[in-house]
Amino acid sequence: GAGVSQSPSNKVTEKGKDVELRCDPISGHTALYWYRQSLGQGLEFLIYFQGNSAPDKSGLPSDRFSAERTGGSVSTLTIQRTQQEDSAVYLCASSFSGGEIYEQYFGPGTRLTVT
């Protein structure tokens, strides 16, 4: 079946602009995660959705970052007033449920470059 998809694959934006990153999880997966991958930093957890609700937003770096999920499916990560330090690869993952033993399936990521 189809895996996790993300769009766009690459995004170049000017400092100060808003961007929206989209994630389509695997059908039937109730849990959805956003991570940020910066050079040399590994993967940084941003936010976790169980269905449409986000019980854990603790990883969002600032109030410029927000995310929503609708219909228990598609999720959008929005970054307002982008800064150069926001440049990174943003990865989305999904799993059958929010459980520590459940494998997370990752999308290919969106590479964001803020100029």
Partner 1 sequence: AQSVTQLDSQVPVFEEAPVELRCNYSSSVSVYLFWYVQYPNQGLQLLLKYLSGSTLVKGINGFEAEFNKSQTSFHLRKPSVHISDTAEYFCAVPSGTYKYIFGTGTRLKVLA
Mask of contacts with partner 1, 27-66, x by CB under 8 A?
Answer: ----x-x-x----xxxx-x--x-x-----x----------
Nearer to partner 1, 19 or 31 (CB): 31
**Which residue in this structure is represented by tokens 């995310």?**
67
Residue from 86, 107, 112, 114 that binds partner 1 (CB under 8 A)?
Answer: 107
CA count, 13 A, side-chain hemisphere, 34: 31
77-96 residues near partner 1, rule: CB under 8 A: 91, 93
- DSSP classification of residue 100: T
Exposed, middle or buried by CB within 10 Å (0-12, 13-18, 19+), for 109? Answer: buried
**Which residue in this structure is represented by tokens 């959008």?**
76
Residue ranges binding partner 1 (CB under 8 A): 3-4, 31, 33, 35, 40-43, 45, 48, 50, 56, 91, 93, 98-101, 103-104, 106-109
